Amino acid sequence: MFYRAAGQFKTSYRADQALFPVRQDAMLLGFILILAWVVFPLTASEFAFQTLLIPILIYSLAALGLNILTGYAGQLSLGTAAFMGVGAYACYKMVTLMPWMSPVVAILLSGVFSAGIGVVFGIPSLRIKGFYLAIATLAAQFFLVWLFEKWAWLYNYNASGAIQVPNLQSFGVYVSGPQATSMVQYYVVLAVVTLLTWVCINLTRGTTGRIWKATRDMDFAAELIGINLMKSKLGAFAVSSYIVGVAGALFVFMWRGAAEPNLFDVPLSFRILFIAIIGGLGSILGNYLGAILIVGLPVILGVLPEVLGMQTDSALAEHLNTMIVGALIIFFLIVEPHGLAQLWRLIREKLVIWPFPH
Amino acid sequence: MLDATEGHTTADGRKIGPVVMEMKNITLRFGGVVAIENISFDIREGEIRAIIGPNGAGKSSMLNVVSGFYTPQEGEVWFRGQPRPPMKPYQVARQGIARTFQNIALFEGMTVLDNVMTGRLTHMKAGLFSQALWKGRAEAEETANREIAERVIDFLEIQAIRKTPVSRLPYGLKKRVELARALAAEPKLLLLDEPMAGMNVEEKEDMSRFILDVNDEFGTTIALIEHDMGVVMDLSDRVVVMDYGKKIGDGTPDEVRNNQEVIDAYLGVQH
């Protein structure tokens, strides 16, 4: 097979620690990046942008944020949607209070607010673990959604109680609002997601990643090795909430166009948790695979009958869709409880030594 | 006369230095239970110091006091000539005290190499920004510390498994990886809590050799708890014997072996 590490010798630790020690991995990533940056935007229809490309990227980013916290640092959280909401509302307030601000900058800054809120709600993690912590973060979920509803200043006192994304320009191009084109929005999302993914890869493979994983695997040993658990846990909450907040801002500004408080309710949190679990906790790639499965697959299944020329009742198609996706989720979890990323890892291990078993 | 006095050279030619750690009248209580009662002993630089005693004697509690996990109600811990204020375990680790655990406490989800690299944490100072970009200090540190981690891996002969996740390893190897992780910190004082528990004779011999080599080549001061008397008597320079939270003996292996109180504690006395 063409996928193997044979003949690629490392002569320095630097080379061995490179992002892609196996050349084929780098080529595969290059291929995916070309698809995402060139091929998809040129060929995608408006429908594909709005139902597949943009939401998959945004959900992947939100799952990535959650994965930093739950998969890497081992702190279970059910408050993801609320932190996305903080990012979205912070972004909305920034662009309405300071209309001169570039929306892209506002999106990147909005994560700072959610990071702050995330740290505050992360304080219970210093005392409690596991399911109990999950319940504590659930409190954040309920409290923040309530706040989005009751604090009229957040939605500029408008009658509907919802936030409407205004038309905003960046470098003379409409980036958000009804006048922005899907392609521009796709590129903004892709750029942010690419940047944050790269940062996350670097963080998780270095010292910080080891600190988080040590905290997750054996907290008392981590402490006796010189890790300040408070800094480690709250740091994970900060980084995770930052990413989740940016994902929330993208969610509203680049995709939905408007948001009501209940958009950020528990079901969204669970959806992102499912993506992270099915994709694989403690993995970066897994978030993308999970988002493709949970967000992308229903869309593809939905249009499949039409493409195949079958006449189906739309309600029936929708129910079938739910059943098929549900069955697939169970199937994948049975085949590989550690998620799709682990499945890919095993395939890769086998491919590298193919055709021999060892 | 103690064998390991200052400036003394042991039979195999190792130098025993001044006192690095001194426990002064340590008393540790859990509610009404007295785990450690008024115990004093010292650890000298370069020596192998054993703490022995029957089950429940307070040995592990003692080690937990040294590593900052418990704060004693009475008494002082002196480290390198200074009394140590009560501190958190991670601060103790940064002072140069590393340890292993009775029940292996490795980071199961990480590879052997990552576990050993985690042991280097106290030596890595790159900021978050540098790490996020994987440029500058972060990258340089990663490479420099990798080299030290690899030296430890070579030393303990675990090269072949360096990229294996720890969860896949057998028990004996896990114990060795744990020693590697502690060694990677380049500790001034290494605490080993039952390094040979649950091992067969061969693994015990391997582990004994590694402990002696560590002490010999790096001059690391070692304090260990062990139940295998043969191992303790062969390895250690001086032995503290505890029973029911009290110190009942302290001295060279030979002295301890002939101490009537110690014999009583281990074999029982007729009442």
User: What is the pLDDT, as a whole number, of residue B12?
Assistant: 65
Q: Which amino acid is at B143?
A: T
Tokens, residue B108? 């199961």
Least-confidence region, from A172-186, B81-95, B98-112, B163-177: A172-186
The band of A214, judged by pLDDT with boundaries at 50, 70 and 90, is: very high
Distances from the Cα of B65 to the Cα of A11, A286, B43, B78, B225, angstroms: 44, 42, 14, 12, 14
Q: Is A267 left (phi over 0), alpha (psi -120 to 50) or beta?
A: alpha
User: What is the pLDDT, as a whole number, of residue A1?
Assistant: 52
User: What is the pLDDT, as a whole number, of residue A320?
Assistant: 82
Nearest CA in chain B to A216: B107
What would the CATH number be for the domain defined by B1-96+187-271?
3.40.50.300
Instruction: State the average pLDDT over residues A88-96.
Output: 92
pLDDT at B1 over 50: no
Residue of higher predicted confidence among A146 and A156: A146
Domain ranges of chain A: 46-265
Q: What is the crossing angle of helices A229-250 and A80-97, to 10°?
A: 60
Reported ipTM: the value is 0.88
Mutate to test the interface with B, among A224, A227, A231, A243 (most CBs of B within 10 A): A224
Q: Does A355 sit behind a cis peptide bond, omega within 30 degrees of 0 on the bond before it? A: yes
User: What is the pLDDT, as a whole number, of residue A183?
Assistant: 86
Q: What is the DSSP letter of B237?
A: S
The predicted-structure confidence for B210-227, as pLDDT tens digits, reads as follows 999 999 888 899 999 988
Using CA atoms of A247, A248, A252, A258 in order, give the dihedral in degrees to the nearest 10: 170
Q: Do B142 and A220 touch (CB under 8 A)?
A: no
CA atoms within 13 A on the CB side of A207: 29
The predicted-structure confidence for B153-174, as pLDDT tens digits, reads as follows 999 999 999 888 999 999 989 9
Dist. CA A337–CA A330, nearest whole Å: 10
- Whether the full predicted model's pTM is greater than 0.95, yes or no, is no
Domain ranges of chain B: 1-96+187-271, 113-184
The predicted-structure confidence for B34-77, as pLDDT tens digits, reads as follows 999 999 999 999 999 999 988 888 898 999 999 888 999 999 99
Instruction: State the average pLDDT over residues B196-212.
Output: 90
Nearest CA in chain A to B142: A206
User: What is the pLDDT, as a whole number, of residue A98?
Assistant: 87
Q: Do B114 and A203 touch (CB under 8 A)?
A: no
The average confidence (pLDDT) of chain B is: 87
The predicted-structure confidence for B223-264, as pLDDT tens digits, reads as follows 999 888 888 888 999 999 998 888 988 989 888 888 888 888
Q: Could you tell me if B131 lies within 8 Å of chain A, comparing CB atoms?
A: yes
The band of A48, judged by pLDDT with boundaries at 50, 70 and 90, is: confident
Q: Do B146 and A13 touch (CB under 8 A)?
A: yes
The predicted-structure confidence for A27-43, as pLDDT tens digits, reads as follows 888 899 988 888 888 88
Dist. CA A99–CA A102, nearest whole Å: 8
